[in-house]
Amino acid sequence: MLLVMQARSKDRRIKWVYFILIYLGLFLCLLLRRMCVRLVTGLIKGHSLAGEQPIGIIKEENVMDINRVAKDILKHVGGKENVSDLSHCFTRLRFVLKDMSKADKEVVEHLEGVIQVVISGGQFQVVLGSKVTKVYDAMLPMVDLESGGGEGGQAEKGNVLNHVLQVISKMFTPLIPAIAASGLIKGLLTAAKLVAAGRGVDIASNDTYILLFAASQIIFYFMPVFLGYTAAKALKCNEIIAMTIGGFLCYPQLDAIIQDVSAVTRIFGIPVIKGAWTIGESTRVFSYTESVIPILLAVFVLMYLERALEKIIPQILQIILVPGISMILMVPLTLCLLGPVGIWVGNGIQTVYYALMQFNAVLGGAVVGGLWGVFVIFGAHRALLPVGLNDVAVSGKQNLLAFAGAANFSQGGAALGVMLKSRNRELKGVAASATISAVLVGITEPAIYGCNLRLKKPMICAIICGALGGGIMGLGGVYGDAFANNGVLTIFTYAAFGMTPFIFYLVGIAVSFFGAAVLTYFVGFDDIPDKGDGAAAVNRAGDKNRAGDENRAGDESRAVCENAGENEILLGSPIQGKAVPMTSVKDEVFSSEALGKGIAVIPEKGEVTAPADCTVTLIYPTLHAMGLTMDNGVELLIHVGMDTVKLEGRYFQKHVEEGAHIKKGTKIVSFDIDKIKEAGYDTVVPVIVGNTANFAEVKGLEREHADCDTPVVRIIR
C-alpha cells in the first residue's frame, strides 16, 4: 500500500511539473506578444508618413490589406507573366523572374508593408517580416506557375551555383516550421527533465514525456518522406512517388533488414549494400530513417527517369506505367547504389565537420557566429541547412545552429542598441520589434534589414559580438539534440548534453546580445533625423536667416520655408523659372491636382535644388521624379517634364543619394532643358505637396521669376 501511495505521489509531482512548465510557457508567449504590440504601437504612434498608416515591423492585421499588398508587389515585379518561380522563407518573398529588368526595385521598396528589397542569387527578394506567409498565400493564386511559368527563369540561365542554392532552399525551407516546432518541444522536455531531476524525479519513463518526445522526433524519423515531397516539388517530378520512396526507406522491416549486417540480402539477384561506420567515438550501422542525402539522390534520378519514360510511353498509359515502372526501378537502384552512396556522402560531410570542430572548435564557432548574418543577407545560409540536418541524422546532435544562435542574439542586441541610441521614433519602433523577433524566435531579417545593415555600424558590432559568442560556445563544446532555430523559446535544446556546455551556451548568447547592444550604443551610428524635430530646426534656421538678411527687401522672401506665422509655411521653388498655376499643366493627373496641390514651374535653369533643409526620400531610377520631406513635415513631389520617364535617365544627372539629409540650395538633380525639348518633351515641372490632406490650405503663388528664396506655395496648418 505504501509503495502504491509513493508511486501515485510521484506521478502527481510529474504532472505538476508539466502543468507548471506549460502554463509558464503560455504566459511568457502572451506577455511578450502584449509587450511587443504595446511597445511598438507606443513608439510609432503619430510618427508615420503623412497620409499613411504608422510604419513598423509589427502591425495589426486589419491595418494592411494583404490582397492589395500582394497585387501591388506582383504588379511591380513585372506581373504574373514575368514570374518564373515564387517561394518564401520566414520573412522574404523570393521571386525568380524571367526578366529582372522589368521589376521596379525602387517602387517595390516603397510599397506598404515592404521593409527592404534584396537582389541576390538570381532572386528578387522582398522582405516583408512576419506577414510574409499571408502575402504569399494571397499572391499564389495570382501567379500561374503550373502552366510553364517555371521554365526559362533568369536564374536558370545564369550562375549554376545560384540555381543550386535556390533548389536547396526550396527543398528545406518548407520543413523549417516543423523542425522549429520539434526543437521547441525538445527544449521544453529538456527543461521539464531538469526541473524534475532537481526534485529527485526521473520523468524519462513517464507516458507524457515519451509521447511528446515521439512527437518531436517525427519530422526527423520520417525525414526521407518529407524531403521526398519537397525535393520532388522543387525538381518538378511526381511528389507522391517520391514520398512513397521515402516511406519505403523508413519502413520498419526494411530498417531491420538493413541493420542486420551479417545477413546477405538480394533484390533481383543484386546484393543490397549494408555496413557500419565510425565517427569520433561512436559506431553506427546503416539506417535510412532520419537520413537526408539518400532520398535527395533518389528524387534527382527519379526526375530524369520520369522524363525518359514519358517520352517513350504513350500518353494514355502514362498514368499507370510511369509511376509503376519508376517504383520497380527506383527500389533496387536506391538500395544497391543511391542509398549507400548517400549514406557515405553524408558520413563524409559529418566526418569533415567533426574533424574541423576537433581541430579548432573556437575558430569554427567564431566564423559561423560572426558571418551567419552576412550569409542571411545573401541567402547563402540555406546552403548550410543540409549540413546541420545531416549532423543530427548521423550523430543525433548538432552545433551549427548553436553558433548561428550567437549571430541571432548579436543582431537582436545591435537592434536594441539602435533603439536605445536613436532619436528617430519610427526607427526606435522598427528596432524594438526587430529585437523581440531576433531574441524570441531567432528571426533576424527585421533586425538586419530594418536597422543594422541600414545604419552599417550596428551590423559591424553584431558581427564582432556574434564571433565572440560563437567562439565561447565552441570553447565549451556546445551541442543541441535538435535542429532548432535559436531563440529564448529553444534555449533548453542546448542543455541536453550536460550543464557545463549549457553554461557556455548561455554565456555565449549573453556576450553576443549584451555585447552588441553596448558596443552599438557607445560606437554610435549616423542617426536618421526624426520628422518630429523638424519644427524646432526650422525655427532655428528661420532665426539665423532673419538675422543675416535684415537688409534684404521684402519680408515675404525672408519667410521662405519657415513658420511665417504660427500656422503658416511658405515654400520656395526647387526650380529656377516662372511659377504658373498647376491647372495649366497639359496632363490631367497633375492639372486635376489628384496627386495634391502645388505649383508648376517653367524652368529657366536645369537644376532641382532643395527649397529648404530636407531629406531626399525618393529619387526615381530614371531621375525625372523625386520626393523630398522638409524638416517641418511638408512632403514634396517634384516631377521634371511630362512623360520624361521614357527618356530612361538620358539628359539627367544625380548629385545626391536617396536618404540623404541636405541643406537648402543643395543640388539634387540636373537636367539638360534643350536636349529634353529636342526629344519632344514638355519641360514644365510640377511641384506637388504630397500630404496636402494634412493641411487646412495649400495654395500656389504665381511668380514671373522664382527660386529657392522666392515663396511659390503657401501652406496653412
Catalytic positions: 89
Question: CB of 554 within 8 A of CB of 448?
Answer: no
By the 8 A CB rule, do 126 and 93 touch?
A: yes
- Between the alpha carbon of residue 267 and those of residues 56, 245, 335, 660, the distances in Å are 60, 16, 9, 70
Q: Which residues of 514-528 are buried (b: 16+ CB within 10 A; e: fewer)?
A: bbbbbbbbeeebeeb
CB atoms within 10 A of CB 348: 14
Stretch (H or E) spanning 252: helix 252-259
Strands (E), 62-122: 83-88, 92-97, 116-120
End-to-end Cα spacing for the chain:
85
How many of the other CB atoms lie within 10 Å of CB of 202? Answer: 12
User: Who contacts 620 (Cβ-Cβ below 8 Å, separation ≥6)?
Assistant: 106, 626, 645
Count Cβ neighbours within 10 Å for each residue of 277-298 and write b for 16 or more, e otherwise: bebeeeeeebbbbbbbbbbbbb
Q: What are 127's strand-pairing partners? A: 92, 116
Q: 656 with 139: CB under 8 angstroms?
A: no
In terms of Cβ atoms closer than 10 Å to its own Cβ (0-12, 13-18, 19+), residue 500 is: exposed
> In the chain, helix, strand, coil percent, each to 5?
60, 15, 25
In the block, cell 514671373 appears at: 704
Spell out the residues 6+ positions from residue 692 whose beta carbon is closer than 8 angstroms to its own.
593, 596, 597, 598, 698
- Residue 599 has which C-alpha cell? 505649383
What is the C-alpha separation between 224 and 500, in angstroms, rounded? 34
Q: Residues 36, 58: contact at Cβ < 8 Å?
A: yes
Q: What is the DSSP string of 284-341?
A: EE---TT-SHHHHHHHHHHHHHHHHHHHHS-HHHHHHHHHHHHHHHHHHHIIIIIHHH
| Rounded-to-integer distance, Cα 652 and Cα 175, Å | 49
**Helical ranges in 422-564 per DSSP H:** 425-441, 445-447, 453-455, 457-475, 499-523, 534-548, 555-558
**Residue 336 backbone dihedrals phi, psi, to 5 degrees:** -100, -15
Q: How far apart are CA 92 and CA 403, in angstroms?
A: 23
What count of Cα atoms within 13 Å lies in the side-chain half-sphere of residue 68?
A: 8
Helix (H) or strand (E) holding 275: none
Query: Which grid coordinates are listed for 292?
Result: 537526408
In 123-236, which ranges are E strands?
Answer: 123-127
In contact, 239 and 232? CB cutoff 8 Å: yes
CB atoms within 10 A of CB 54: 17
Q: How crowded is the C-beta side of 17, counted as CA atoms within 13 Å?
A: 26
